[in-house]
Chain A
Amino acid sequence: MSAGVQTPVDPAPVDPTLVGTTAATTDGQRSRIPWRFIGGRVLFYVFTLWAAITLNFFLPRMLKGDAVQAFMARSRGQVTPEAEQALRTLFGLDKSVPLWQQYLGYWDNLLHGDLGISLSTGLAPVGEAIASALPWTLALVGVATIISFLVGTAVGAVIGWRRGSRLEALVPVTTFLGTIPYFWLGLIFIAVFSTALGWFPAGHAYEIGVEPGWNGPFISEVVSHAVLPVVTIVIVSLGGWVLGMRNMMLTVLDEDYITVAQAKGMPDRRVLWRYAARNAVLPQIQSFALAIGFIVGGTLVMEMVFSYPGIGLLLLNATNAKDYALMQGIFLVLVLAVLVANVIADIAYAVLDPRTRQTEA
């Protein structure tokens, strides 16, 4: 049988081992900053923000009775007619305006920074109430998250490195700590360290009578008042980091490049931190973004327990007073803050993991 030959056109001798693979066909630039990766993530966050805002808009309209009526009854005529009208518009109880127009009006207000009127704080604008409380919460969450992440990841790395040692016992211990409800632990700490031992103050961010500002007494007050809340959050959230890091370390340590590094004679400490931990921490950064939502939730409850003047306390009071405008405003601000934190985490991940730059090619 004669061979039906389709001769390829290229004249140069072909090395069969390089031919026909996908590596030969892809051939692009590698950009330093993975814009596409970050851009995709930002797009997603914008979508999430939109979803949260829309959810916020529809919730009261789906489920409520007439909240304004109830409020009017409670406040017994201390509300001006204009304020009442504003409230009705806010809750969509103004039947004269069609739904889609309310939606657009809502967005219009938002973009002007108008989150509505807070019923429980003397009819002040919601934005103001939140603005005075937000910094406290951010400080608490920020400090607690960073400490928890650093300590937890380091401990997890060491436990993973020393497989089978007695340190392994730390893992169930930290996981147990993670199942303790935040608020309960906080109360226990107050009972033990504050009331019984008197080491730390029992609540608030600073004592009344101390002048707020960048001065020594104030700062020391703030720090001493922050210790118990921060420690509580750190203890409870530590377990997740430890477990995750230890599991990743076990996976990474099985890789061949670790064996090569050790065989080259690299000191153990260097292999542990520069090679193993550095690769194992990458998925941790990804889960950082998810952990933030969890930590925020815990911090809110912490503030309620410690009467810390942050958003959590504000939310608690708003919930009890059925101040829906304030509640929704807080929710939006929280979502925004979490999304910003996510973007930062994504950028950090993109910078640290060279593989994200690969996808640009």
Chain B
Amino acid sequence: MTTLEFQHVTKVYNVRGSGQLKALDDVSFSLTSHQTIGLVGQSGSGKSTIAKILTQLERPTSGTVLLDGKPVPTFGKGLRRYRQQLRMVFQDPFASLNPYHSIRHHVERPLRLDRVVPPAEVDAEVRRLLERVRLDADAVIDRRPHELSGGQRQRVAIARALASRPSVLVADEPVSMLDVSIRLGVLALLSELQREEGLGVLYITHDLATARHFSDEIMVLNQGRIVERGAADDVILDPQDPYTRELRAASPDPEKHFQELAAQNAGGAR
């Protein structure tokens, strides 16, 4: 059981010419393995900042990040061990893979860096990982990213993230740039992997529907602050916070007919 904790994390950016931008304001939460937490919020609410701090691409201005109760080291072997435990899947499948290198290179690098398996077994492990994400290893392994579709690339990104056998996976809007028809497939894969590998997954999204579909718990982020947290169904079906209510009202409900909604909006003039 691994536990990842944010304790009173604040992140302030200095913007040239216009002062400071507070991206995160006293954010605290914890994430354990075998659990998926959905982090919901709009663009600019601070979701990506949380992801960057988790992967140590940014440092918090104040507050601490703890792994299993101990503060995360900021350099050296400790940092390396931490990085092995926590991996990220990025939003843009077209940008998160280096256009110059083959798929093999992408999945191989973390294996070699972290010495997950002895060098002789690296190739077999790469193939195993690719099969794990439901890709045909032989067809894909020597190709370059531009030869694959968006969904295939995202699967490669997931394989790369799994290579170091992490205990926590941060998925930063992993399906928002994919065609709607394939989103479910990728999410189903993530869900299956989470179950089988016992990962703790932080699923970051702006889409309430998939958050509910995929997570055990949901946290709602508004302007850098967590305004609500609870079981997925509770938060979506019975939101307490006014901001969460606004978010839910703004999502189209396929249960309701469009004309009903138009009449509703015209009648209840805002």
Give A1-36 as 1s and 0s: 1 = Cβ < 8 Å from B's Cβ atoms. Answer: 111111110000111110111100111100000001
**Contacts A3-B234, A3-B235, A20-B44: A8 and B18 contacting too (C-beta < 8 A)?**
no
B230 engages A14 (CB within 8 Å): no
Q: B42–A7 contact, CB under 8 A?
A: no
Q: Is the CB of B44 within 8 A of A361?
A: no
Closest to B47 in A: A20
Closest chain A CB from B143 CB (angstroms): 30
Beta-carbon contacts of B202-234 to A below 8 Å, as 1s and 0s? 000000000000000100001111111111001
| Pair count A-B, CB < 8 A | 77
Q: How far is the CB of A265 from chain B (nearest CB, A)?
A: 33
B120 within 8 A of A: no
- Residue pair B223, A20 in contact (C-beta under 8 Å): yes
Q: Are B243 and A8 in contact (CB under 8 A)?
A: yes
Please measure, in the bound complex, the distance between the C-alpha atom of A22 and the C-alpha atom of B224, giving whole angstroms.
12
A contact residues, total (Cβ < 8 Å): 25
Inter-chain contact B42/A19, CB cutoff 8 Å? yes
Residue contact B222 to A4, C-beta cutoff 8 Å: no
Does B176 make an interface contact (CB < 8 A)?
A: no
| B268 close to chain A: CB less than 8 A | no
Report the bound CA distance from A21 to B222 in whole Å: 10
A361:B17 contact, CB within 8 angstroms: yes
Whole-angstrom distance between the Cβ of B202 and the nearest chain A Cβ: 17
**Complex partner residue of B243 from A14, A21, A22, A27, CB under 8 angstroms:** A14
CA distance A16 to B227 in the complex (A): 13
Given known contacts A21-B43, A360-B17, A361-B18, A16 and B246 CB-to-CB distance under 8 angstroms: yes
> Size range of the interface on B?
20 to 34
A22 touches B17 (CB 8 A): no
Neighbour of A26 across the interface among B15, B43, B246, B250, CB < 8 A: B15
Q: How far in angstroms is the closest Cβ of chain A from B240? A: 5
Question: How distant is the Cα of A13 from the Cα of B249 in the complex, in angstroms?
Answer: 14
A2 to chain B: which residues have CB within 8 Å?
230
Determine if A359 is an interface residue (Cβ-Cβ < 8 Å): yes
Query: Measured between alpha carbons, how far is A298 from B71 in the docked complex, in Å?
Result: 63
Please determine whether B223 and A1 come into contact, CB atoms closer than 8 angstroms: no
- In the complex, B66 has a CB within 8 A of chain A: no
Return the chain A residue nearest B223 by Cβ.
A20
B-side contacts of A28, CB under 8 Å: 17-18
- The answer to whether B43 touches A4, judged by C-beta atoms less than 8 angstroms apart, is no
Residues of A within 8 A of B222 (CB): 8, 19-20
* Residues on B with beta carbons closer than 8 Å to the beta carbon of A4: 226, 228-230
A361 to B18, CA, bound (A): 7
**A6 pairs with B227, CB closer than 8 A:** yes
Cβ–Cβ < 8 Å partners of B225 in chain A: 6, 8
| B20, closest chain A residue (CB) | A25
Is the Cβ of A7 less than 8 Å from the Cβ of B15? no
Residue among A2, A6, A27, A359 having the largest count of chain B Cβ atoms under 10 Å: A6
Q: Does B145 lie at the interface of the complex (its beta carbon under 8 Å from any beta carbon of A)?
A: no
Judging by beta carbons under 8 Å apart, are B235 and A25 in contact? no
Q: Given A25-B18, A360-B17, A361-B17, are A5 and B227 also a contact pair (CB < 8 Å)?
A: yes
Evaluate whether A5 and B247 lie within 8 angstroms (CB atoms) in the complex, with A25-B18, A25-B21 already known.
no
Assess whether B42 is in contact with A5, with CB atoms less than 8 Å apart: no
Q: Does B242 contact A (CB under 8 A)?
A: yes
**Any chain A CB within 8 A of the CB of B241?**
yes
Alpha-carbon distance between A8 and B227 when the two chains are bound, in angstroms: 7
For residue B45, CB closer than 8 A to chain A, the reply is yes
Taking the nearest CB of chain B, how far is it from the CB of A37, in angstroms? 11
Measured between C-beta atoms, what is the minimum distance from B36 to chain A in Å? 14
CB A73 to nearest CB in B, in angstroms, measures 59
A3:B229 contact, CB within 8 angstroms: yes
Q: Is the CB of B17 within 8 A of A359?
A: yes
Complexed CA–CA distance, A6 and B229 (Å)? 9
User: With A and B bound together, what is the CA distance between A360 and B225 in angstroms?
Assistant: 29
In the complex, A19 Cα to B220 Cα: how many Å? 14
Picked from A3, A7, A13, the residue with its CB within 8 Å of the CB of B230 is A3
B174 beta carbon closer than 8 Å to chain A: no
- B residues near A17, Cβ cutoff 8 Å: 42, 250
Instruction: Give A16 to B45 CA distance when docked, in angstroms.
Output: 11
Report A-chain residues with C-beta under 8 Å of the C-beta of B227.
5-8
B41 in the interface (beta carbon within 8 A) = yes
Q: How far is the CA of A26 from the CA of B20 in the complex (A)?
A: 9
Q: Are A1 and B217 in contact (CB under 8 A)?
A: yes
> Is A20 a contact of B231 with CB atoms below 8 Å?
no
Chain B residues, Cβ within 8 Å of A1: 217, 230-231, 234
Task: Give complex CA distance A361, B17 in Å.
Answer: 6
Could you tell me the distance between the alpha carbons of A359 and B17 in the complex, rounded to whole angstroms?
7
For B242, list chain A residues within 8 Å (CB): 7-8, 13-14
Q: Which of B22-48 contact A (CB under 8 A)?
A: 41-46
Report A354 CB to chain B, min CB distance, Å.
16
B235: nearest residue on chain A (CB-CB)? A3
- The contact sample of 21 A-B pairs, CB cut-off 8 A, is A1-B217, A1-B231, A3-B228, A4-B229, A4-B230, A5-B240, A6-B225, A7-B227, A7-B241, A8-B225, A8-B242, A16-B250, A17-B250, A19-B45, A19-B223, A19-B243, A20-B44, A20-B222, A26-B15, A26-B18, A360-B17
20 additional A-B residue pairs with CB within 8 Å, beyond A3-B241, A4-B229: A2-B230, A3-B229, A4-B228, A4-B230, A5-B227, A5-B228, A5-B241, A6-B227, A7-B242, A14-B243, A15-B246, A16-B42, A19-B223, A19-B243, A20-B41, A20-B43, A20-B224, A27-B18, A36-B17, A361-B17
The 6 closest A-B pairs by CB, nearest first: A3-B230, A26-B18, A21-B44, A20-B44, A20-B45, A20-B223
Binding site for A on B (CB under 8 A): 15, 17-19, 21, 41-46, 217, 222-231, 234-235, 240-243, 246-247, 250
